[in-house]
Amino acid sequence: MSCPLCHYPKCATLDSRGYHDADVVRRRRECISCGYRFTTYEQVIIRGDIVVSKRDGNREVFKLSKVENSLRMALAKRNVTPERIERIAQAVAETIDFGADGAAGKTARGHYRLVTSAHIGQLVMESLRELDPVAYVRYASIHRRFHCLADYQRLLDTLA
């Protein structure tokens, strides 16, 4: 994001928060060069609707903010910038959006694609695996519902 005032190509993020329940994130930014403060609203553009089929059988509309939140939890205190987390979440969303995975469905409003929460979890795990092994194990333990130390051991064996 470049500064609207001096066009310097970099700015710092002071604060970011989700906007209502929508997949819109509001950010306070500050130009690194001239100090100008401004606000941006970001929204990921996704082709058509993506519906997530959850483990319990319920379905819900895909929300980028959910992916971001799960990444934030996994990467808590892991020295990864919020911008990096956003980029990972967006990459996951784009993979879902452009990927061939998931069955196509139809609603009164038009087409939607169905992805499983397991598939989304797998994509998140793949991106964490390279980035930060600790976050990867954290995320996996939640996503795969680890019950005992042997579950961790099996996962750690795959990292060795």
Q: In the complex, which residues of this chain contact Zn ion (CB under 5 A)?
A: 3, 5-6, 8, 31, 33-34, 36
Select 14 or 76, whichever has its Cβ closest to Zn ion: 14
- Asked whether the CA dihedral 144, 146, 151, 155 is positive or negative, the reply is positive
User: Whole-number minimum distance, CB 97 to Zn ion, in Å?
Assistant: 33
Select 31 or 88, whichever has its Cβ closest to Zn ion: 31
Select 6 or 103, whichever has its Cβ closest to Zn ion: 6
User: Whole-number minimum distance, CB 37 to Zn ion, in Å?
Assistant: 10
At which residue do the structure tokens 């939640």 appear?
A: 142
Tell me the residue type at 46.
I
User: Whole-number minimum distance, CB 114 to Zn ion, in Å?
Assistant: 44
User: Whole-number minimum distance, CB 32 to Zn ion, in Å?
Assistant: 8
Query: In angstroms, rounded to a whole number, what is the distance separating the alpha carbons of residues 119 and 71?
Result: 15
At which residue do the structure tokens 């993979």 appear?
A: 95
Select 12 or 142, whichever has its Cβ closest to Zn ion: 12
Tell me the residue type at 149.
L
Query: In angstroms, rounded to a whole number, what is the distance separating the alpha carbons of residues 70 and 66?
Result: 6
Q: How many CA atoms lie within 13 A of 135 on its CB side?
A: 21
User: Whole-number minimum distance, CB 8 to Zn ion, in Å?
Assistant: 5
Edge-to-edge order in the sheet of strand 24-31: 11-18, 24-31, 37-43
Select 13 or 90, whichever has its Cβ closest to Zn ion: 13
